[in-house]
Amino acid sequence: MQQRFLIVAGKGGVGKTTVSAALAESLAAKGKRVLVAMCNAKERISTMLGSDLVGEDVVRVGKNMWAVNMNPERALEEYGMLILKSKALYAILFDNKYVRTFFRAVPGMQEWAMLGKAWFHTTETRDDGSLMYDVVILDAPATGHGLDMLRVPKVIVDVVPTGLLRRDAERAITMFQDPKTCAAILVTLPEEMPTTETIELASALTKELHIPIGAVVVNGVLPPLFSREERAALEKCEIDEKKPGDAAIVAGQDRAARERVQAESLSRLSRELPVKPIFFPLLFEDAATPTAIHELAKRI
């Protein structure tokens, strides 16, 4: 992947942070300087990468890898100081409790504070003029909240008068819609509801927001034990719970049913999305470990 801004999106509980960590490790291994930006999330990436806890300040979490867990109020404070170019002037304006209450009440301002902060990190440079980070990975909120966050720059452009806030929103939109600089990484599970939500999310991203889809990662894929014919035969079996051997048939039916749903889900994803899915296997050990993340990173 050559894009500089990657949006990892999907339904809650599908493993977005796991994919963000594996993606960061994969890119870092290729020599890229990578920042993972989380949105006020329950912090788990430090466990996955074997680093110190990740808080509101950017910290190194591995070779060529950094991370930050963005807090909306802290992000707004940082954004305010960037605009005003003066900590003293910021303190006069933003430390006023009425001003803070006003900003908390503005629809979308907290979402923009975090999204804008993540976007800003793509513009940061080092003393020698080179980019601070080659890639910024946004570990986005769950589907509905994530879409609302990504809609905010367009709302700002539509309703905010010409000025610094609108200018930054316009620059962010330009980056998000350029397939050379941005891509959405959709994360899902091989199940009916997550599959449906992922297809709907892809449609909203591409048709409404014009954000390109770079990859689809399917988490928790089972290695198939049965062929289609064997699954059909198992599901037709009549069982007698009193017979000792029928317990194995029940277990086989459960597995066959899961494999059938998985096969149907993978077929829908391949058919209805613009990119071929990447499969992450179901890990029977804890996925939130450096060893597991290292293995998953090899599949990207």
Backbone angles phi, psi at 201, to 5 degrees: -65, -45
- Cα dihedral angle (286, 288, 290, 292), rounded to 10 degrees? 50
- SS3 (DSSP) at 56: coil
Q: Please give the pLDDT value at position 96.
A: 56
Q: What is the pLDDT of residue 102?
A: 47
Rounded CA separation 105/98 (Å): 11
Domain contains 268: no
- Does the pLDDT at position 16 exceed 90? yes
pLDDT at 85: 56
The 10s digit of each residue's pLDDT in 159-218 is: 878 877 788 899 999 999 999 999 999 999 999 999 999 999 999 999 999 999 999 999
Share of the chain above pLDDT 70, in %: 88
Answer yes or no: is 239 within a domain.
Answer: no
CATH number for the domain spanning 66: value is 3.40.50.300
Q: Is residue 159 part of a domain?
A: yes
Q: How far apart are CA 5 and CA 118, in angstroms?
A: 9
Specify if 88 maps to a domain.
yes
Q: What 3-state class would DSSP assign to 103?
A: helix
**In 10 A of CB 47, how many CB atoms?**
15
Q: Would 14 be classed as within a structural domain?
A: yes
The whole-angstrom separation of Cα 74 and Cα 113 is 9
Closest by Cα among 118, 140, 111, 16 to 66: 118
Give the SS3 label for residue 219. strand
* Rounded-to-integer distance, Cα 271 and Cα 222, Å: 20
What is the CA angle 162-168-173, rounded to 5? 105
Range of the domain at 209: 5-225+276-297
Residue 241 lies in a domain: no
In a domain, 233, yes or no: no
**73 domain residue, yes or no:** yes
Q: How far is CA 142 from CA 14, 29, 44, 184, 201, in A?
A: 9, 28, 16, 13, 11
Percent of the chain with pLDDT over 90: 62
